[in-house]
Amino acid sequence: MSSAYKFYQDVAQTFNAYNNCIKSGNKEWEDRHANNLEDLVKKYLPRGSGFDNGTKFNWDESKDNKLVFDTAFHHMDENGYYDGWTEHKIIITPDLMNDFNIKITGKNRNNIKEYINSCFSDFAF
């Protein structure tokens, strides 16, 4: 089991607990779970080094069997000057054979999706 898989599993469990608190009307724990989830994303998912706006959890599009994160990448030209952004959704779904799948939306400028995939699939948790 990969470290990234454990991270996504923890995010999914926290998101599920958050939703259960909404259903039961437990505002105190709803807020705690929301803050915990936001802290996990800030601590472990990409920010800086091109991900200059960081990564955000997409509360509206995420479901029990799908986690969605929003990010953008700040590209540089061959002279080292910033020359535009690409925006992306990172969609994580379970996979019985390979822990999880990653789908990356948005433009594949400069083959950035390969780099984004590596950033979201291999990190220490």
70-104 pLDDT per residue, tens: 999 999 989 989 999 999 999 999 999 989 999 99
Structure tokens at 80: 């080292």
Quick one: 102 exposed, middle or buried, by C-beta within 10 A (0-12, 13-18, 19+)? middle
55-57 and 67-76 strand pairing: antiparallel
- Residue 31 to residue 89: CA distance in whole angstroms: 24
Q: What is the pLDDT of residue 1?
A: 67
Q: Where are the domains of the chain?
A: 3-121
Q: Which residues of the chain have pLDDT under 70?
A: 1
Which residue bears the tokens 């433009």?
107
Q: What is the pLDDT of residue 103?
A: 98
Q: What is the pLDDT of residue 39?
A: 97
Q: What is the pLDDT of residue 98?
A: 86
How many CB atoms sit inside 10 A of residue 74's CB?
Answer: 15
Q: What is the pLDDT of residue 2?
A: 86
Q: What is the pLDDT of residue 114?
A: 97
Is the Cβ–Cβ distance between 46 and 55 less than 8 Å?
A: yes
